[in-house]
Amino acid sequence: MLPNYRSPPRRTRELVDQSGVASAAVTGTLALVEVRSVPIPKLGPNDCIVLHCQWKFVGTVGTKSVRAYLGGLAGAAVVWYTAAATLTRLADERRIQNKTVTNLQSVSQAHGSIGYATSTGADNDTAIETKDGTTITFAAQLTDAADQAILKSWSIEIIRAN
């Protein structure tokens, strides 16, 4: 090792939750339906949540809106995507990064109908306190009750700042 060399801070990556088992289909209602809620452990300044989700859509009559909320359904929407009537699937990744405090986040965007995609949209800011933990809640809403939205898989990771 070189004299006066400081190694970079150690970063850790934690898998919070994952599943490849599809949820029950959201169908038969026009209401916003909670599909899955995942507890998130406490986060520090600059910690980052990495959220991956894959949705399947059945039916071609109406649009299907899928969402993920930081802080539960009453929290801030960090994924908000409305699929066209003919879209059959969506793959989405978000990075929800605490800023230098635990109650202000920057949310990156990248989603596509057949895989991950680029985005020219600006990051969104949210203001959810995360120092004592929070939740990520997946939800779906239809404009035609005969259609379906299915959460096929998801994974949630945390990248610790130090």
Indicate the pTM of the whole model: 0.84
Does residue 11 form part of some domain? Answer: no
- For residue 111, give Cα distances in angstroms to 117, 126, 148: 5, 19, 20
Q: Whole domain around residue 103: which residue ranges?
A: 19-159
Mean pLDDT across the chain, nearest whole number? 85
- Is 63 among the domain residues? yes
Whether residue 136 lies inside any domain: the answer is: yes
For the chain, what is the domain count?
A: 1
Task: Specify the residue for token string 């299915």.
Answer: 150
133: alpha, beta or left? (left if phi > 0; alpha if psi -120 to 50): left
Burial bucket for residue 24 (CB in 10 Å: 0-12, 13-18, 19+): exposed
141: exposed, middle or buried (Cβ count in 10 Å: 0-12, 13-18, 19+): middle
Rg (CA), the chain: 17
Q: Is residue 76, in this structure, part of any structural domain at all?
A: yes
- Percent of the chain beyond pLDDT 90? 49
Q: Mind listing the pLDDT tens digit for each residue in 125-157?
A: 888 899 999 999 999 999 999 999 999 999 999
Residue 155 domain flag: yes
Instruction: Output the domain CATH number for residue 70.
Output: 2.60.120
Note whether residue 94 is domain-resident. yes
Q: What is the pLDDT of residue 120?
A: 60
